[in-house]
Amino acid sequence: MLSNMRTRPGRTSGQPTVHAGMDLNAGANAPVIVVQGGVVETVSADVRPAQGLRGYGNAVVINHGNGTWALYGHMAGVAVSPGQRVGAGTLVGRIGNTSNGKFSPVTGQTVAQWRADAPSDPARRRVMAPHLHLELRRAAADGSSPYLGTNAGRGYGTLTLDPRPWLESGGLIVNRNLTLAVKPGSAMERTKPTWSALSDDVTDYGFEPEEYEADLPLYGLFAVGLLTVGVGVALLVRNRLG
Ligand SMILES: [Zn+2]
């Protein structure tokens, strides 16, 4: 884990900003799997800055039931469709660094083109590293989805929940040193033969992404945890993404 929900210094301003999700570190194209079942509500992309869920890049929102929704953001590719029912161990996409062009190039753009678009933007000196932004939210006050309509923007930081208890009830334990482990007897453990067989088809992006999340020393710990236990951040079959 790179960064859990908390207030942290803004990337360029240095002013405190809310980070409403959990950042899970993994190589580009590593598979992302869900730890609990649900129904895919939204599949969105920030092909241009004003599109999609605004900043989450290729993102999937899943209604996991019991008033809980999860967003899986910044993915390189998406493996599910709206309305699709998913179970523990289902592949939803692959790790990426997609955004709305603020933190990384939009789809189809090189780093050089992205920088040339806004040469004076200090944020573009760095490129967001591939990672999964996992964000958990509860229903809005009227019971509606926290990711639909005006709830999508307003819910950031106000409807968000700590993902850790939810991950743990699904069988993924977040250790004190921020590595992850699969709980014996859980659905995650039962489905391990399926998700652990997905290829960890890590891609060379052609540039060296620079981390900007704050807790960089945890990178190594997380990588070891990921490789060792398989994790709830899992794999996709490459050809499904074209
Ligand atoms: Zn994040």
> Can you give the CATH number for the domain in which 167 is found?
2.70.70.10
CA of 241 to the centre of ligand 1 (A): 23
pLDDT, one tens digit per residue, over 13-55 is 666 667 788 888 888 888 999 999 999 999 998 777 666 787 8
Overall domain count for the chain: 1
Q: Is residue 219 part of a domain?
A: no
d(CA 154, CA 158): 7
At 13 the pLDDT is 61
3-state SS, residue 132: strand
Q: Is residue 220 part of a domain?
A: no
Q: Is residue 233 part of a domain?
A: no
Put residue 18 in one of left, alpha, beta given phi > 0 → left and psi -120 to 50 → alpha. Answer: beta
Residues, Cβ < 5 Å to ion ligand 1: 21, 23, 133
Q: Is residue 201 part of a domain?
A: yes
pLDDT, one tens digit per residue, over 116-137 is 999 998 888 888 888 899 999 9
pLDDT, one tens digit per residue, over 148-171 is 999 988 888 889 999 999 999 999
CA of 32 to the centre of ligand 1 (A): 15
> Greatest CA separation found in the chain?
53
CA of 41 to the centre of ligand 1 (A): 20
- Quick check: pTM over 0.85? no
CA of 122 to the centre of ligand 1 (A): 20
Q: Is residue 239 part of a domain?
A: no
180 to 14, 54, 211, 223: CA distances (angstroms): 30, 29, 21, 10
CA of 23 to the centre of ligand 1 (A): 5
Q: Which residue range(s) make up the domain with 120?
A: 6-207
CA of 8 to the centre of ligand 1 (A): 11
Q: Is residue 49 part of a domain?
A: yes
CA of 132 to the centre of ligand 1 (A): 7
CA of 210 to the centre of ligand 1 (A): 15
Q: Is residue 111 part of a domain?
A: yes
pLDDT above 90 (res 217): no
Q: Is residue 230 part of a domain?
A: no
Sequence-distant (≥ 6) Cβ neighbours of residue 63 within 8 angstroms: 38, 39, 40, 41, 69, 145
d(CA 86, CA 30): 19
CA of 116 to the centre of ligand 1 (A): 25
CA of 88 to the centre of ligand 1 (A): 22
